[in-house]
Amino acid sequence: MSLPSSSSPGQPAVQKQGTNIYTVMLILAFLALVTGTVLLSMELQRYGSYPWWQTPASAVGGGS
C-alpha cells in the first residue's frame, strides 16, 4: 500500500500553525543564553589567558 501524495487534488491543503507563545519564549531563552555567554567571555578576557588563578605573582614566587 502506497502513501498518498501530498499534492493529490482530492485532499485539502493543511495550513501550518502560526508561532505560539512557547516558540517565542524558546527564542527569547536562546537569545538570553547567547547574550550571557558572550558577556561572560568578554568579562573573562579582562583576566588574561586560561589558568586565571595563576597570576604572575604566584607563578614567580611559587606561593603555597
pLDDT of 8-61, one tens digit each? Answer: 677 888 888 888 999 999 999 999 999 999 999 998 888 777 776 776 776 665
CA separation for the pair 17, 35 (Å, rounded): 29
Look at residue 61 in the predicted model and tell me its pLDDT.
56
Look at residue 38 in the predicted model and tell me its pLDDT.
97
CA atoms in the 13 A half-sphere facing the CB of 40? 6
CA separation for the pair 52, 54 (Å, rounded): 5
Look at residue 39 in the predicted model and tell me its pLDDT.
96
pTM passes above 0.85: no
